[in-house]
Copies of this chain bind each other. A is one copy, B any other.
Amino acid sequence: MRLRIDARLDYQFGAPADVLLALEVAQLPDQRLVADQLTVTSPEPLVPMEGEQSIGRRTWAAAAEGRFEATYRAEVDIDRAQVDLAAIPGVPLRALSGLVVPYLWPSRYCRSDKHREFAVAEFGHLSGGPLALAIAGWCRTNLAYTPGSSTEDTSSVETFLERRGMCRDYAHLAIGFARALGLPARMVSAYAWNLDPPDFHAVVEFFLDGGWHLIDPTGLAPTEGLVRIGIGRDAADISFMSIFGAATLNAQSVMVERID
């Protein structure tokens, strides 16, 4: 499947500020970049961030006072094998490498230490792929997808209590449940084909035997049409635009179109 992506951010800055953009498609075996281009209105050159530890690309920009626009266009071929997750076992903890272990710990938004008792009671009899599927299914059934119901302060604890949220909240809670049971899980920002309305999306990767596997706990977008941008511990790691200063959003749009 070939997708054309067009993302635009339009912000207003009261004073100059540094900005870290995570808009670019990650280069991964199952999603090959045909071409892409990131442009911003700043007179200063873009500075690709070096030494990225996480999977993903990021770019530093300088926003001047006034309007700041960033535009990203890309074409990507996705060739992601469909996997029967229900048949994949988990992996023993003692075999986990240092690349996976950080995704076992609680983080700012995935408060796995607070979900242990519920997770054990609800999912404690499961492991591996069936556990990942049960967690995602629980979120889909028990949370109400409610635009505007959460803020950048909302962690998995509030989502668990309030039983509503948006894609990032679904992902945070699913990750929280998984880590609480020793299943490594990480957050993925993505462009999503067939997401309605179109927007940036957030989904989850669970570590099962043989590698990381994508699941969308909201069920709103097919995983075969997901184009990963950044991967991290939670939303703090993969924000598509980190602003070191103050700005207000004018407009933002994402379009993902199939072109093959």
* Number of copies of chain A assembled together: 4
Interface residues of A in 102-127 (CB under 8 A from B): 102, 105-108, 111, 113-115, 117-118, 121
Asked whether any CB of chain B lies closer than 8 Å to the CB of A251, the reply is no
| B237/A161 in contact, CB under 8 A | no
Asked whether any CB of chain B lies closer than 8 Å to the CB of A92, the reply is yes
Q: Please give, as numbers and ranges, the residues of chain B lying within 8 Å of A79 by CB-CB distance.
A: none
Mark contacts of A150-177 with chain B using CB atoms, 8 A cut-off: 1 yes-contact digit, 0 otherwise.
Answer: 0011000100111110000000000000
CA distance A202 to B45 in the complex (A): 40
Q: Please give, as numbers and ranges, the residues of chain B lying within 8 Å of A82 by CB-CB distance.
A: none
In whole Å, how far is A44's beta carbon from the nearest beta carbon of chain B?
Answer: 9
In whole Å, how far is A133's beta carbon from the nearest beta carbon of chain B?
Answer: 22
Interface set of A (CB-CB < 8 Å, partner B): 18, 20, 47, 49-54, 58, 60, 62, 92-99, 101-102, 105-108, 111, 113-115, 117-118, 121, 142, 152-153, 157, 160-164, 182, 232, 236-237, 244
